[in-house]
Amino acid sequence: MTALELGDLLARVNAGLNATSLLLVITGFALARSGRLEAHRRAMKGAFAASVVFLASYVTRFALTGSHRFAGTGALKVVYLAVLFSHMILAVATVPLVLRTLFLALKDRRDEHRRLARLTFPIWSYVSLTGVVVYVLLYHVGGIAH
């Protein structure tokens, strides 16, 4: 398997990890709202684990194949770039938000955890969702410019 083939495989894996994280974050939110706190903890730990594995896989993919240029044009390219840039900016913000929210939960500081989670949940969800959207747009809709 070439580095390019491995990079393409890792891109698919990364999209799957983003989708997994999104589903677990949404599930965790619903579980917390229904008072099922132990199940909420498990879902959120799973979402965190999926995100950590994603980060390692993404860095590996980037090291193998670098960044890619979107081949689409016109409105499609504008949409792609808008989604990509919002995804990138919020992905950077997500790291400290998730770490702090998790820290507060582990320290059983529930009121602070709940307040911060109200901000963390939509941002983490958006980043996970747009990670999948960026993958679909780049690898299946607009294509990669070589």
Q: What is the domain partition of the chain in residue ranges?
A: 3-145
Phi-psi region at 108: left, alpha or beta (left = phi > 0; alpha = psi -120 to 50) = left
pLDDT tens digits, one per residue of 47-103 = 999 999 999 999 999 999 999 999 999 999 999 999 999 999 999 999 999 999 999
pLDDT at residue 146 tops 80: no
pLDDT on residue 78? 97
pLDDT category at 110 given cuts 50, 70, 90 is: very high
Q: Which residues of 20-34 are buried (b: 16+ CB within 10 A; e: fewer)?
A: bbbbbbbbbbebbee
Q: CA 143: distance to chain centroid?
A: 21
CA 20 to chain centre: 9
pTM as predicted: 0.94
> What rounded mean pLDDT belongs to the chain?
96
Average pLDDT of the residues in 128-136: 98
